[in-house]
Structure 1
């Protein structure tokens, strides 16, 4: 029986302030509240800045979260088989170099996987298509065909570009996405909780004022000492929660982590594009040379 009574008292202690806040909130929404304690302008400005920061994080994360999805640039119309994804381009080229017949070449292209399936990125898909095209031409040409050679080189290069993209994605996931998700789900959540505490304490303060004012016949000057103490305690709680929220919001706004994370995002993208440029810059002269050689071989010979 004692435990039941204790539970009842504890429930009433928690429910009564909640009910009072709810009643005050409803009155404010209906426009029937006697008064509403105003928050300082500086506090309201901090709220706006925190809200803006939260929206920035949500919007950018909604886009950049694609870096966690490997096939984000993989064309939906491509139909590649399990065997197509079985081996890396480099492995297939190695197997093809030992093939002595069209049948062995085809077997090399469809060799069972040596590890996990190959990545589904746009660059990897281009590489696989290029190597397949190279072999189709090679199998139907009596001599070494320049286009077949160029396509094989292109396939090897594009696989490297694809690997560079995956390396970029891994860096972005660990250095940008993780950081911005932490800010959104931890730091900004703390700020939201602190602001909620301010709102609750304000509603409590205004509900206490309204109740004591009604008990005093609408005249705050006629409050009892007990009523004054209760109002002062509610005011102290409101001021304390407001100061705490200001501190939390300033910490969220002043932290250098979001900017540092953004710099890491840019660095990862820069490294990927730099690596892609280096790979293609090395490939281009080799393909140009094959083109020049092919054109020269087609010129009429002088008598």
Structure 2
């Protein structure tokens, strides 16, 4: 390569760099008046603030209300994304489970006869574990207690062991129903709220921010024109008129976008999905516990305690309930039916074991 070509290439690179720096400097210099104007308004030093159309103000109020509802609900219902939200915090099984898993792996490795077999042992998944929920914890402690009572020989101990086993099974199935509820809330409520927040509501936020920037630019250019010297008045007037046109276009665009966002926002179906999932779970839990209590042993001469001693709750229990099918719940009118069969609950339990997020 000749020296002249090297010099030409260097000059070309330098010109490109100069152009880039000049462009960035111009952008920065243009942003200074807007930033200065913004600070003046925040400090209360600017009073000539352009008024927004009433239609624009009304639409922003509606969009803000939608965003507020979505965010506040999601702050609460995101608890359903955490499997162990009702698990007793004082039960610490992680270290013991890890120790048992490591001990089991070491014992298996001691019998490995080849490197391939050892690799298979190390890569094999650990033993399956019950999801960490309150009902599964109750199921486990009832099962262990039942096994302890079985070693005793008295009739009363055997009867207690039998009912502890039944209670363990009931709690296990209630836990499956709760995991099924959580899965429905995650997919039919939380995911759709996040989709709306990250999609349409962010889109509305972007156009509103663009309107605010264009307004600040327009108001700053008006102020500069009012204080301009005669020789610069023509140039600043052109800048002001351009800023005014861009401000008007941005406002019209934002109005259209916000109208579309409001028209597409429909929280009622989402709320129904949330309520239906909760209703399905609580109905399943109530019916299984009621079946357990109806067969509970006791003195035949003594009246069994009601499900609730509170008069309002007792009246609700005495009210006629919709018929319940063992395969599909009789959902109230307007609420989609959700399968509550034992097969569905067993499938939900298997899914929960495979995917800890369910």
- TM > 0.5 between the two? yes
Match of 2:151 in 1: 139
CA contact (8 A) 2:224 2:236 kept: no
TM-score by length of 2: 0.65
Distance verdict in 2 for CA 1:223–1:80, change over 3 Å: closer
CA contact (8 A) 2:152 2:158 kept: no
Between stretches 148-157 and 127-136, larger displacement belongs to 127-136
CA contact (8 A) 1:179 1:258 kept: no
User: Aligned partners of 2:161, 2:89: CA distance in 1, in Å?
Assistant: 27
| 1:12 pairs with 2:21 | no
Match of 1:259 in 2: 268
Match of 2:224 in 1: 211
Please state how far the C-alpha of 1:155 moved relative to its aligned partner. 0.6
Counting matched residue pairs gives 260
Where structure 1 has 5 or more consecutive residues not aligned to the other structure, the ranges are 87-112, 296-303
RMSD after superposition: 2.8
Match of 2:65 in 1: 52
TM-score by length of 1: 0.76
Give matches, 1:1-303, under 5 Å: 1-33=14-46, 35-79=48-92, 115-143=127-155, 145-215=158-228, 224=234, 226-285=235-294, 287-288=295-296, 290-291=297-298
Q: Give the 3-state SS of the residue equivalent to 1:73 in structure 2.
A: coil
Alpha-carbon displacement from aligned partner over 1:65-98 (angstroms, at most 9, x marks no partner): 1101111111223355857xx9xxxxxxxxxxxx
Distance verdict in 2 for CA 1:163–1:34, change over 3 Å: closer
User: Aligned partners of 2:216, 2:265: CA distance in 1, in Å?
Assistant: 34
Q: Give the 3-state SS of the residue equivalent to 2:168 in structure 1.
A: helix
Structure (1 or 2) with the greater helix fraction: 1
Please state how far the C-alpha of 1:123 moved relative to its aligned partner. 0.8
User: Aligned partners of 1:30, 1:114: CA distance in 2, in Å?
Assistant: 62
User: Aligned partners of 2:237, 2:126: CA distance in 1, in Å?
Assistant: 80
Distance verdict in 2 for CA 1:30–1:277, change over 3 Å: closer
